[in-house]
Amino acid sequence: MDILLVEDDEAIRDVLKSYLLNEGWNVREADNGGQALQLVENFKIDLVVLDLMIGGIQGEEVCRKVRKFSKVPIIMITSKVKEIDTINGLNLGADDYITKPFRTKEVIARIYALKRRMDMFSSDNMNSVTMKRFNRGRFIIDYTTNDVFIDGKRVDLTHTEFKLLTVLTKAPGKLFNRHDLTYEVHGYRNLDVGRTMDMHIRNIRSKIEADPKEPVYIVTKIGSGYKFDFQSEAVHA
C-alpha cells in the first residue's frame, strides 16, 4: 500500500514514517499543502495521512481540493480537539480523524481498520452474487463499481460515506444505532461517537435526498439510530 504522509513537523513525520515502513507500506512525504496536492495528482496513492496544521495550503483546503478529483481515503491528524473541528473535517471529506497528542500505534490501527474496509469492498465486488445493484428509480447503487447515481448523475461519496450507505441499503429496514454503525463502517467500536456519524449521515443526505431536511431514504428514529427506508419499491439485481 502506498501512503502519503503530510506533516510539517519533521520529528513527528520521521517517527510516523518509521512505523509505516515497518508495516511494509511504501511512504511518500510532504511537509506542505501544495506538495501534498502535487503528489496525489501525479502518483498512485492508496491512503493519505494528513496533518491539518501544515504550511502553505492548509490541511482543510488540501482535503477539499483532493475531494474534487479523488476518493482516496484520508485520515486527518490535528491538535484541534473541539467537536465542531471534527465535524468540519468529516464534512470536508475525511474518512477518519485523530487528535493530538496521539499514540503512533493508534494511527497504525486506524490505517489497518481503513485498509480492511477497502479490502472488504474489493472482496465483496469479486464475490457478491446476491446483490450487485440497488435500483430505486432515481436512486441507483452499483456495488461492483462503488458508484452511486441520482437521476442518472454520478454522486461523489467518500469511501466512508459509500461504506455507510452500503451497510444501510444492504439491510433495509434494520435500525442501526451510532455505535453499531461505527463498528460496521470503521471496524472498531468507539464509545465516544458524538456527532461524527450524524455528520456522515448529513453529508450523504445532502447528496442523495431531494430534500435533505425531509429525508425519504435514510430516516432517523429519535433516540435509537438510523435505518434505510424500504417502504417504497426497490429492485435488487
For the chain, give every domain's residue range. 2-117, 128-236
Predicted confidence at residue 126, as pLDDT, reads: 39
Least Cα distance to 53 among 85, 19, 91 occurs for 85
Among 28-37, 179-188, 209-218, the range of highest mean pLDDT:
28-37
Whether 2-117 and 128-236 share one fold: the answer is no
For range 40-49, the mean pLDDT: 94
Least Cα distance to 166 among 215, 200, 191 occurs for 200
pLDDT band at 5 (very low <50, low <70, confident <90, very high): very high
Predicted confidence at residue 75, as pLDDT, reads: 92
Predicted confidence at residue 183, as pLDDT, reads: 77
* Contact (Cβ atoms closer than 8 angstroms) between residue 6 and residue 36: yes
Distance from C-alpha of 5 to C-alpha of 26, rounded to nearest angstrom: 10
pLDDT band at 192 (very low <50, low <70, confident <90, very high): low
Give the per-residue SS3 of 24-74: CCEEEEECEHHHHHHHHHHCCCCEEEEECCCECCCHHHHHHHHCCCCCCCE
Predicted confidence at residue 18, as pLDDT, reads: 95
Least Cα distance to 130 among 158, 93, 165, 170 occurs for 170
Predicted confidence at residue 129, as pLDDT, reads: 37
Predicted confidence at residue 13, as pLDDT, reads: 93
* Chain centre distance of CA 207: 15
Indicate whether 118 pLDDT > 60.
yes
Predicted confidence at residue 34, as pLDDT, reads: 94
Give CATH superfamily name and number for 2-117: Response regulator (3.40.50.2300)
Predicted confidence at residue 193, as pLDDT, reads: 54
What percent of the chain is modeled with pLDDT above 70? Answer: 82
Distance from C-alpha of 183 to C-alpha of 199, rounded to nearest angstrom: 16
Average pLDDT, rounded, for the chain: 83
Count of C-beta atoms within a 10 Å radius of residue 7: 23
For range 104-131, the mean pLDDT: 68
Q: Which CATH architecture has domain 128-236?
A: Orthogonal Bundle (1.10)
Least Cα distance to 92 among 141, 50, 121 occurs for 50
